[in-house]
Chains A and B, each alone.
Chain A
């Protein structure tokens, strides 16, 4: 069964450093998303991406964040200068379409720890 894969599974970084979280969406999917879950809190939407551009972003997704699809398979989330409060599980997701009744499939997540 096709799945969304994320690397690394766990990333520890020092405050102020840049991190890149990587995702390989399901191959025939066209829409890509990043969500995050801070420990003990809800899963929160960060950004959606389609046709090589951001289609929607939340207020969390500030100038420190960026996304890219550098090639035909990878989808990355970059945090330019990490803060302690960026520590969370980051989930990548993809969906085939964005129309009615189309579910998003999630990866297993990357646990980001900022120290």
Chain B
């Protein structure tokens, strides 16, 4: 298996622009998680899905952030409009219910908003 795939790996954009991050979970996994990691705040859970349905989005910082999972093999995290304080590494992870709750992380997308 290729593992969790994220794209792009690096994104540099200007303040006010729309940013879309993409994730392909491991085939057969029914949970998908989006995290944000910064030096100041550590690793924060933004939102997670079970069987493509959003379960908990309480970590989404504000309305500028939205996430979708149109099917079992694809999810997006969108920031519109982006701000410099959104600069961070965004991770996608997936896991399988009943399989020891271990999460598999993607390589992350490093976002820089100037």
A binds B: no
Enumerate chain B interface residues (CB-CB to A < 8 A): none
